[in-house]
Copies of this chain bind each other. A is one copy, B any other.
């Protein structure tokens, strides 16, 4: 009889100990009753959700963790329960994984390698462990490691040296583009060099700026991918380990890049709204591509009846924009209202006239229009209890082509980490079956419509130049000289980078949005506001 382990790729909620315990219990009961599992493997810190951040500094939180874990331990019998939780021991906190069986804790492992880069702050909370932990389950010598441990050689080699045959790795590994194939290659290498079969279980779901993409998998010690679960969806994945290692099972294919981004955004929006108790969403629809894509995401995530859109044309809005916006709403069956901003804009201009008399119009008047829209949308959001979605993309956030408290006002920014060129690719993907984003919206030159005949290209280089420069500067930390050496115009590079640097203060007050690239704005990129460094010297 082979050993059956269920990989519990489930969606948990940070801090919701009671809810998470219920989700863990339900999965364990199903694994035992329906799937005949000997063991069930949950993600890293499954009890708390990931990342619990500074909740880990609260002793009342850790007390409740211990009480909840004790109850799980006492309640769930007849299956090996393997899950992650924070563990206080000898005056320090450890990132732990425990094996529980019939009311006993039979083994416990502490994470050796604590990530403290990118979005991770684990050294803020935890001390490292690392002593191998091997336990025999149904005749198989099983070792545990946690997430980061598998990205380096030593922990798996130590587990093998301690006599393990099968390595169970508990993860909370957030999505970025290209990570799924990277994980597969990594696990293949790790399996081959350690001679261990490896089962890798990953969390799924959105948590603030992170989306965990699942894709749990099993890699044989011979480097054969034996099984992979779905991406971006919950799954209980039963895996059988016989005398020759893991038996073959279903292998879900990697998502193509744009599809993966689409599904990450969908899950991120849905979970942010759902886990924070919003009934629905509202957003401003301009007739431009960003708000069209944001609307389509919101509808896919929450349902058309839960989404409301507002058209807020100004004296600078082309009639074509209104027509396209209405076409978008109608294609998706979404309620739309039109609130021209002219009355508010005119009133505010008149109120400010005594102070502004004799001064030429400048960005102030452009910002005023964006802020009239922000104030109307926030009023609707407040009155209806809907979350306001902002529509800005990463390229705009990077160069500050956005108005603080205007189009940046809102609770969640779905496209915050999506560069403009990728927004176009998303639009094409969304139109793959039927046209939900009018072709004209995709083809028109982009404009903020805050001044007469304004176009993005008046003040920015074309996105086909802007996006690669931004990627090199923000995601790859390339300096000016390096970017220029790659063939970009020196003056353009200098101007773009100066814009990025100068607009850090806007990003600091921006709403959260889903990380989909290797480096997102937010926790992932921690720049000073007061910053005298001139990369363009």
Contact = CB atoms under 8 A, between A and B. Distances in A.
Given A64-B537, A355-B337, A532 B343 contact: no
Given A63-B479, A378-B405, A55 B121 contact: no
Nearest to A48: B533
Contacts of A528: 14-15, 51-53, 55, 207-208
B364 A60 contact: no
B351 A364 contact: no
A407 to B, nearest CB: 12
A481 B60 contact: yes
Nearest to A371: B375
Given A116-B116, A530-B272, A379 B352 contact: yes
A207 B55 CA distance: 27
A151 interface: no
B532 A14 contact: yes
Interface string A46-65: 00010111110111110110
A535 interface: yes
Interface in A325-362: 337, 339, 343-344, 347-348, 350-352, 354-356, 359, 362
A530 B17 contact: no
Interface stretch (A224-232, A256-264, A442-450, A506-514): A506-514
A527 interface: yes
A404 to B, nearest CB: 8
A382 B367 contact: yes
| Chain A residues touching B, range | 35 or more
A299 B64 CA distance: 49
B363 A376 contact: no
A58 B350 contact: no
B382 A364 contact: yes
Contacts of A364: 379, 382-383
Contact of A530 (B275, B371, B527, B530): B275
A468 to B, nearest CB: 18
A409 B367 CA distance: 14
A20 to B, nearest CB: 8
Instruction: State how many copies of this chain the complex holds.
Output: 2
Contact of A13 (B355, B375, B405, B530): B530
A505 interface: yes
A529 interface: yes
Nearest to A52: B528
Contacts of A537: 18, 64
A352 to B, nearest CB: 6
Given A351-B344, A378-B371, A16 B533 contact: yes
Interface in A497-537: 505, 508-512, 525-533, 535, 537
B379 A367 contact: yes
Interface string A240-277: 00000000000000000000000000000001100110
Given A51-B528, A375-B375, A382-B363, A347 B343 contact: yes
Contacts of A530: 13-14, 206-208, 271-272, 275-276
Interface string A367-391: 1100110111011101100000000
Nearest to A58: B477
A123 interface: yes
A334 to B, nearest CB: 15
A124 interface: yes
Given A59-B477, A537-B64, A512 B525 contact: no
12 contacts: A15-B533, A54-B526, A55-B533, A63-B479, A337-B355, A344-B347, A348-B379, A352-B383, A362-B382, A371-B405, A378-B404, A405-B405
Given A206-B530, A405-B409, 4 more contacts: A207-B528, A276-B505, A367-B378, A367-B379
